Amino acid sequence: MSRLNLTNLRKMKSEQNKIAMLTAYDASFAYALEQAGIDVILVGDSLGMVIQGQESTLPVTVEDMIYHTRNVIRGCETVFVIADMPFMSYGNTEQAINNAARLMAEGGAQMVKLEGGAIVADTIKQLTQRGIPVCAHLGLLPQSVHRLGGYRVQGRDEEGAQQLISDAQTIEQAGADLLVLECVPADLAERVTAAVDIPVIGIGAGANCDGQVLVLYDMLGLTPGKRPRFSHDFLAETGAIPAAITKYVQDVKSGQFPTLEQQY
């Protein structure tokens, strides 16, 4: 069996077949996600908060990401696997190339994800020219939470919206093959999705993106504290973890998730 690849994901966008993505950090959950029909697993630096108990994603290291990516790869055979590049692991081009190469060679990832718009365009270009596929991340940037003043919706005014659209087009031109769009108004997310040819995966970005992603522990209702508005407790709805994951995949594919209540 071969893994889903970028050609498959681009075809899903062109055919308007929704892409279902969740985070995972170990082999057991990777297997459960694959059995439920998930398309993409993101080994997110969110593990810093949901696995390690950190206050943010910032303390996560490249070694942490390699370890968890390797475990996820062992647990699934057909899912496309993306690994986050943690905070300041791509501060300059040489550093980005070395760390991205490690995530792929040692961790087994098929793609790396990094945060930022035009400012990281050259980094994206340098990575993709060396055969390292890149997923960009725009909107709310968890690694920049202190600069942003907290976890806030981005692009509410037209100036911010235009900047986000411009950033999306710039990172696509630089070679990014996928885009995660976090915590932006649904109408803006729809504009961004139409403005680029690469698949756009939303998290708190409305139903009109090419796919959806959630933190696994959020959608299972296991994350301590208040659950994000854009999430939904699928475990409470179904009563069993495999059923919860299957319901998430079904609802993403059918367009039933997210609802109007789960968007901005």
Nearest to 137 by CA among 260, 264, 45, 254: 45
Q: Assess whether 172 carries a catalytic annotation.
A: no
What pLDDT, on a 0 to 100 scale, did the predictor assign at position 119? 94
**pLDDT the model gives residue 152:** 66
Are 11 and 18 contacting, i.e. CB atoms less than 8 angstroms apart? no
Q: What is the mean pLDDT of residues 123-150?
A: 84
Which residue in 182, 190, 237, 261 is the catalytic one?
182
- 194, 203 in Cβ contact below 8 A? no
For residues 195 and 170, give the distance between their C-alpha atoms in angstroms, rounded to a whole number. Answer: 11
pLDDT of residue 151: 54
Confidence of residue 146 (pLDDT cuts 50, 70, 90): very low
CB neighbourhood size of 243 (10 A): 14
Report whether pLDDT(257) > 90: yes
Are 201 and 209 spatial neighbours (Cβ–Cβ below 8 Å)? yes
| Strands of the chain, DSSP E | 19-23, 40-43, 80-84, 111-115, 134-139, 178-182, 200-203, 211-214
Q: pLDDT tens digit string along 29-55?
A: 999 999 999 999 999 999 999 999 999
Q: What is the 3-state secondary structure (H, E, C) of 2-46?
A: CCCCHHHHHHHHHCCCCEEEEECCCHHHHHHHHHCCCCEEEECCC
| pLDDT for position 156 | 85
> Domains of the chain (ranges plus CATH)?
6-262 (3.20.20.60)
Taking the whole predicted model, whether its pTM rises above 0.85 is answered as yes
Can you read off the two tokens belonging to residue 218?
């959020």
Please give the helix or strand (H or E) that residue 241 lies within, else none. Answer: helix 241-254
* DSSP 8-state secondary structure symbol assigned to residue 184: -
Pairing relation of β-strands 80-84 and 111-115? Answer: parallel
What tens digit of pLDDT does each residue of 87-122 get? 999 999 999 999 999 999 999 999 999 999 999 999
Q: pLDDT tens digit string along 206-255? A: 999 999 999 999 999 998 888 888 999 999 999 999 999 999 999 999 99
Instruction: Measure the CA–CA gap between 36 and 92, rounded to whole angstroms.
Output: 38
Looking at residue 148, what is its pLDDT?
47
CA dist 211 and 39 (Å) reads: 10
Nearest of 178, 179, 174 to residue 189 by alpha carbon: 179
Residue 224: per-residue pLDDT: 83
Say if strands 19-23 and 211-214 run parallel, antiparallel, or are unpaired: parallel
Euclidean distance between CA atoms 163 and 86, whole angstroms = 24
- Gap between the terminal Cα atoms of the chain: 39
Share of the chain above pLDDT 70, in %: 97
- Rounded to 10°, the helix 62-75/93-105 angle is 30
Q: Which residues on adjacent β-strands are paired with residue 81?
A: 41
- Please answer whether residues 118 and 106 qualify as being in contact, where contact means their C-beta atoms are separated by less than 8 angstroms: no
Question: What 3-state DSSP class applies to 123?
Answer: helix
